[in-house]
Amino acid sequence: MIEKRRHPRVRATIPIDWGLTPQCLKHDRITSFSIGGCFIQTREAARPLTLVYIRFFLSPEGERIIRGEVRYHLDKVGLGVEFVNLTEGDKQNFQALVDYYRNAPTK
């Protein structure tokens, strides 16, 4: 299989709130991410191109609701989501988070 991602991903377990509205009423976890997107481990289904919202705590300023678009769905496993319209600050914060998990000691 040819890798289509533009940004390297890191594995992590990050509890998040997300949903189809900015209220982010669903509670699941991210299991991998990059500055371009993430994989949400969830039993929820969503069709490709569905807009989703994910609540992140990316910076000292507090939470940010990031918009994403579902790229693929694995039944009863999760959703591959591409982030859309990230600010430069969001990209920098995500890159810092990627670097943290890339360099974190493994157990």
Whether 1 is in a domain gets the answer no
pLDDT at 63 (0 to 100): 87
Please tell me the pTM assigned to this model: 0.87
In tens, the pLDDT along 33-77 reads 999 999 999 999 999 999 999 998 876 777 889 999 999 999 999
How far is Cα 106 from Cα 6, in angstroms, rounded to an integer?
25
- Above pLDDT 70, what percent of the chain? 91
How far is Cα 63 from Cα 65, in angstroms, rounded to an integer?
7
Domain that holds residue 27: 10-99
Whether 5 is in a domain gets the answer no
The residue among 7 and 41 whose pLDDT is bigger is 41
- Exposure letters 89-102 (e unless 16+ CB within 10 A, then b): ebeebbeebbeeee
CATH number of the domain enclosing 58: 2.40.10.220
Whether 3 is in a domain gets the answer no
